[in-house]
Structure 1
Amino acid sequence: MSIHGIAADGISVGLDLEVGHLAVLEVDSDGRRLSPLHKAPWVGDPEQDFPPGTAPNVRHLSGDFFCAPFGRSDADCGDPGPAPSHGWPANSAWTVLRSGPTPSGAEAVFRLDRRVCGATVEKTLRLLHGHPFVYQQHRFIGGEGAISAAHHTMVHMREGGDIAVSPKLFAETPADPLEPDPSRGRFVLAYPATTPDLHAFPLADGGTADLGRYPPGDRHEDFLTLAEAPGRPLGWTIVSRRAERDRVLVLKNPAVLPVTMLWMSNGGRDYAPWSSRHAGVLGIEDARASPLGHADSIRPNAWTARGIATAFDLADGGAIVISQVIGACAMGEGEGAVRAVSVEGDKVIVSCAGGLSRRLPFDPEFLAGQAASKLG
């Protein structure tokens, strides 16, 4: 790994330049130093033996990475050679364009060494003094055709935790599980299944699971998609980690990224490098994409039939800007389950059961400005 880091008062981040993964995020909160993001146990292990064809994003699996396209790279958009799953932004090198302190914190800008559908892709990481968030932005410049995109934020929980999300229309699993072969892995959710009740999702054995509690079962690998309720200015996912006594916050503009996919990786893959040891991991994948890959995302599909966009249009030139925010804070004594998240002035308000709340410094323009972006 080749990590490029920047820091501001109370927060630091590091990017793995070999694959563009946000491998390090550390936040000071209530006198503690929080490290909320996941790193796979094999990362940096020189003894790890990878099966032939293991993608770079799996070899370096850590923190958050940007997918373009999301999932299968099964559509030809003129780039030389096929891309691995989740595209070149998550699997190939990035170059530092500029990096250093700013009057309000620190900022680094990177450029993907490859093109995506002919587009140049740039990544900006911005930190503000005293803010517990990394403000990250990806920009497509030029290009042709259409591309799906998603973040892939990963959180590890030693003893599980609670998941709270902004209002959703429904949750849905695809037709097939990630690991259908019992000799290689296991799953617990029903496939396919759809429900508007996130607290009673159908299980493969006929029962139901509360998606607000993680994990929903033992030794399983599962995947589902949550569709954002329309008309909301802020999309959010809050993971409250029990053993770590902290909360991980992932924020987005739902007009830009209208779905959130949840990857539940809890010891449900038996083959290398997973080897049943990749457990307690939740992927929070804010996306404009079909879960079935690039080809499905750029044609009429089951999601676009519901009015949910699954791709960005590169054809008209100019730039497409996609922003997301990741942060963390300690869990205070007496704070119950998260009930709501809102933005008031220059603060994010995390409201909890029992009437307690936490006010965190926040740049309200960072996500709101996305409404003016060229979305396709």
Structure 2
Amino acid sequence: MSAETTRRALAWAHGCLSVQSLGGMLGPVLFLLPDGRQVSPLHVAPWGNDPERETLPEILQQLRGEWPCVPFGSDTNRSLPAGWSATGESFEGAGVPHGHGSNVHWTWGDCDVRQITMECHYPDDHPIRLLRRRIVPDQSAAAIDITLEIEARRPCRLPIGLHPTFRLSPRPGSVVIEPGAYDRVWSVPGDVEPGAALFTPDRQWSSLDKAEARCGATMDATQVPLMEDTEDLLQLSGIDGSVALHYRDEGFRARLSWQKEHFPSLLLWYSNRGRKAYPWDGRHVALGVEPIASAFDLGPSISTAANPLAASGIATAIAFEPGHTFTTRYRLSVEAARLG
């Protein structure tokens, strides 16, 4: 790594949290439920102490928890079906996976017993100048409030997103995805991982529990982990800014809420033993639950071009202007829930 990862931690009456400089990633987080149980819903990738991780892209080296992606996704050569194009806005650095801030060390700001703040300066030729991040535990609840500020260097349109990644219990179907109200479900126009796709590509459905698999069967995509070894994405458009994960075997529910006017879609990343190469090694099981203004993770040149999601009225990019700070707020919380 180009610099040593440093960390800051906070404890409060309802839990404790850790934040790392690399990627500005939050995790792990331990919440204390009212009945005295401790639960830790955010994912930490299993290779974090492996010396070989230094050969990986920075975003993967100590992958964990939650962080912002500006821009979301990355530009790369893709084979696209009819209706999709890569004719939108691009720039130097648009090929960096999930943006500059996901791959460098952030600078610590004010960190005390009530908050952790940090910022990330972008390269001089990048359309974005600066990201700021503020993480504040709710002193009265098992919850964390997060603020993201984005400052632009020049006028631009970019896909952006948040990247909470949750751990999953080992038993298939032991965690239930409970999204708020949404309009439709979209499958990615291609393969996320060659040979590991599950859902019929470039399709739309009315409900997440009626997704179509490539074998022709209809499946319930709310029940995770999935039985199948797969690496795939589904996007819920027009969502109301809320989602919960019910950990049925552990008796708790994790909730995420955000400003729907900023992130009108929720991207679900099913990382379900589908990637066989290092560091995934066919063992990685986690669920990305990612509020976005983006077309999947297809990058700026596709998300800012004409695309089926945008044609349906769903924003797949945000406009930024110098001198105007974009501010968005979101919240992660947990609560006790029934078993089974």
The TM-score normalised by the length of structure 2 is 0.87
Q: State how 1:55-204 maps to structure 2 within 5 Å.
A: 55-73=57-75, 76-77=90-91, 84-101=96-113, 106-115=114-123, 117-144=127-154, 145-158=156-169, 159=171, 160-180=174-194, 182=195, 186-204=196-214
- Deviation for aligned residue 1:18: 1.9
RMSD of aligned alpha carbons: 2.0
Q: Note if contact 2:252-2:334 (Cα within 8 Å) is conserved in structure 1.
A: yes
Q: Note if contact 1:73-1:86 (Cα within 8 Å) is conserved in structure 2.
A: no
Structure 1: distance between partners of 2:310 and 2:200: 23
Change (3 A) 1:215 1:128: closer
- Deviation for aligned residue 1:28: 0.6
Q: 2:29 corresponds to which letter in structure 1?
A: L
Which one of the candidate residues 290, 310, 314 is aligned to 1:285?
290
Structure 1: distance between partners of 2:133 and 2:308: 30
Change (3 A) 1:68 1:152: same
CA displacement 1:192-224 (0-9 Å, x = unmatched): 221012221101100011122113432111111
Gaps of 5+ in 2: 77-88
Q: Note if contact 1:55-1:84 (Cα within 8 Å) is conserved in structure 2.
A: no
Structure 1: distance between partners of 2:135 and 2:336: 23
The TM-score normalised by the length of structure 1 is 0.79
Residue 14 (structure 1) aligned with residue 15 (structure 2)? no
1:36 maps to which residue?
A: 41
Q: Note if contact 2:53-2:61 (Cα within 8 Å) is conserved in structure 1.
A: no
CA displacement 1:107-140 (0-9 Å, x = unmatched): 1211114355232110111112122111111101
* Matched length: 316
Q: Which runs of 4+ in 1 moved over 3 A?
A: 73-77
Per mean C-alpha deviation after superposition, the further-off stretch among 169-178 and 241-250 is 241-250
Gaps of 5+ in 1: 337-376
Change (3 A) 1:85 1:329: same
Of all paired residues, the percent bearing the same amino acid is 22
Q: Note if contact 2:149-2:325 (Cα within 8 Å) is conserved in structure 1.
A: yes
1:308 maps to which residue?
A: 314
Structure 1: distance between partners of 2:134 and 2:326: 13
Q: Which has the higher contact order (CA 8 A, sep 6+)?
A: 2
Equivalent residue of 1:226, what SS?
Answer: strand
Which one of the candidate residues 229, 242, 246 is aligned to 2:252?
246
- Deviation for aligned residue 1:316: 5.1
Equivalent residue of 1:39, what SS?
Answer: coil
- Deviation for aligned residue 1:49: 5.3
- Deviation for aligned residue 1:329: 2.2
CA displacement 1:270-326 (0-9 Å, x = unmatched): 1111010102x1100101112221112223322221111122211253110122211
Q: Note if contact 1:154-1:284 (Cα within 8 Å) is conserved in structure 2.
A: yes
Q: Note if contact 2:22-2:102 (Cα within 8 Å) is conserved in structure 1.
A: no
Structure 2: distance between partners of 1:215 and 1:204: 18
